[in-house]
């Protein structure tokens, strides 16, 4: 039986007593991602590749597709009366929507931008929070990841795949030829152990000592204390790495390094680490900042960065323990 995204949403809302409006927010996000998908797949044919010759709050050069994807997400969410406000990697401050809205949506509209012009998988990452009572402010968004009511991503890869959790398991949807998300898998369970790690090795000299020691053990393989050989991957798109881990296990880490003492890591807590960490938890995996569960971190800013170790829970635990000694 074909289960479309809206069928799944209706079934889940009913089964778990979730508000209809949460389903409408997910629908708005998926509709925006359909538009992003269309532009991503046209690329040069729509003159949408290359630099926008602008910068964002992160101090990063924006690609044309970054700017367009961001606007498509903002337009879709601001059109939904259930959305009180949104926060984007590409926006310095939050964007207010509907005063009576019940939800806050945080997103990275197009993660992995350095891959856009070279046709390597990229993705949209989203996180949904309930709006707290009272007037909307930045503080409204600064909730720990464990308080998310939904999260997920759309991976623009060989297939266009939506991965979604409403905190009752995970559903995976593949975009069909009629531009509909059809459920193709559910409740992936990440193997507790792995022999595959993902890290940008070029930063090795900048890592803290425990991370250098941990990775050295993986590289030693059978000749070292782990007594098994490891394989390595690095796509430079977190969405692609997380999807690989959901499907076959692994560990992904972007550790803190000494290049900028002000930055505890490269990845952003609110719209990269938190949504992905919730998916890890729902799939039997784990995610820490090398010291604590990422989902327990009390945010202090919309764009705060965090070190990330996520994936197969035993491997995450081992790497985290190396930082406690
Ligand atoms: P580097 C993409 O810019 C991103 O935020 C993640 O998707 C990815 O894992 C990481 O940065 C890649 O970083 O330093 O290898 O380019």
> What is the DSSP track for 239-279?
HHHHHHHHHH--EEEE--BTT-TT-S-SEEIIIIIHHHHHH
Query: Tell me, what's the pLDDT at 63?
Result: 83
Query: Tell me, what's the pLDDT at 53?
Result: 87
Write the residue with the smallest CA distance to atom 10 of ligand 1.
236
- Mean pLDDT (10-residue bins), the chain, 325 residues: 96 98 98 97 87 82 91 98 98 98 98 92 98 98 98 98 98 98 98 98 97 98 98 98 98 95 92 99 98 98 98 98 92
Query: Tell me, what's the pLDDT at 262?
Result: 84
> Could you tell me the strand order of the sheet in which 286-288 lies?
231-233, 196-198, 251-254, 308-311, 286-288
CATH code, 196-324: 3.40.190.80
Asked whether 105 and 83 are in contact (CB, 8 A), the reply is yes
* Ligand 1 atom nearest 114 alpha carbon: 3
Query: Tell me, what's the pLDDT at 46?
Result: 85
Does ligand 1 come within 6 angstroms of the Cβ of 200?
yes
Distance CA 98, CA 14 (A): 25
Does ligand 1 come within 6 angstroms of the Cβ of 309?
no
* Ligand 1 atom nearest 267 alpha carbon: 5
> What does pTM read for this prediction?
0.97
DSSP 298: -
Strands 251-254 and 196-198 turn out to be parallel
* Ligand 1 atom nearest 239 alpha carbon: 7
DSSP 324: T
Distance CA 325, CA 64 (A): 45
Distance CA 184, CA 164 (A): 12
- Find the helix or strand (DSSP H, E) in which 68 lies: helix 64-78
Domain boundaries, the chain: 5-186, 196-324
Query: Tell me, what's the pLDDT at 267?
Result: 98
Name the nearest CA neighbour of 93 among 109, 75, 83, 106. Answer: 106
How far, in Å, is the centroid of ligand 1 from the Cα of 89? 13
Name the nearest CA neighbour of 98 among 192, 163, 21, 8. Answer: 21
Which among 155, 266, 306 is the best mutation to test ligand 1's pocket, defined by most ligand atoms within 8 Å of the CB? Answer: 266
Write the residue with the smallest CA distance to atom 15 of ligand 1.
236
Query: Tell me, what's the pLDDT at 62?
Result: 83
Does ligand 1 come within 6 angstroms of the Cβ of 185?
no
How far, in Å, is the centroid of ligand 1 from the Cα of 19? 35
Name the nearest CA neighbour of 163 among 33, 289, 75, 269. Answer: 33
Write the residue with the smallest CA distance to atom 13 of ligand 1.
236
Does ligand 1 come within 6 angstroms of the Cβ of 237?
yes
Name the nearest CA neighbour of 196 among 229, 231, 228. Answer: 231
| Residue 51: other Cβ atoms inside 10 A | 14
Yes or no: domain 5-186 corresponds to CATH 3.40.50.880: no
- 3-state SS, residue 166: coil
Does ligand 1 come within 6 angstroms of the Cβ of 188?
no
């Amino acid at each position: 039986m074909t289960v479309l995204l809206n069928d799944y949403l209706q079934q889940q809302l009913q089964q778990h007593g979730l508000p209809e409006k949460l389903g409408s927010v997910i629908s708005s996000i998926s509709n925006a991602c359909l538009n992003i998908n269309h532009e991503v797949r046209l690329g040069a044919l729509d003159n949408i590749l290359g630099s926008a010759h602008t910068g964002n709050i992160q101090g990063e050069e924006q690609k044309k597709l970054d700017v367009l994807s961001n606007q498509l997400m903002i337009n879709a969410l601001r059109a939904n009366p259930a959305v009180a406000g949104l926060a984007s990697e590409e926006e310095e401050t939050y964007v207010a929507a509907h005063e009576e809205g019940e939800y806050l949506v945080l997103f990275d509209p197009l993660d992995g931008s350095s891959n856009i012009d070279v046709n390597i998988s990229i993705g949209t990452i989203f996180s949904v929070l309930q709006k707290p009572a009272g007037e909307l402010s930045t503080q409204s968004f600064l909730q720990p990841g464990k308080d998310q009511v939904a999260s997920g991503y759309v991976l623009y890869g060989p297939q266009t795949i939506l991965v979604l959790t409403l905190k009752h398991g995970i559903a995976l949807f593949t975009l069909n030829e009629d531009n509909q998300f059809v459920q193709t898998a559910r409740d992936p369970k990440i193997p507790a152990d792995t022999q595959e790690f993902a890290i940008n090795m070029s930063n090795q000299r900048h890592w803290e000592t425990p991370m250098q020691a941990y990775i050295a053990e993986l590289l030693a393989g059978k000749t070292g204390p782990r007594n098994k050989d490891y394989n390595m991957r690095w796509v430079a798109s977190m969405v692609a790495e997380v999807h690989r881990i959901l499907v076959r296990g692994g560990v992904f880490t972007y550790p803190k390094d000494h290049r900028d003492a002000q930055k505890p890591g490269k990845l952003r807590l609110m719209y990269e680490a938190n949504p992905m960490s919730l998916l890890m938890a729902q799939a039997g995996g784990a995610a820490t900042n090398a010291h604590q569960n990422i989902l327990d971190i009390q945010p202090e800013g919309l764009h705060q960065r965090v070190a990330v170790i996520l994936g197969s829970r035993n491997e995450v635990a081992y790497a985290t323990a190396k930082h406690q000694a």
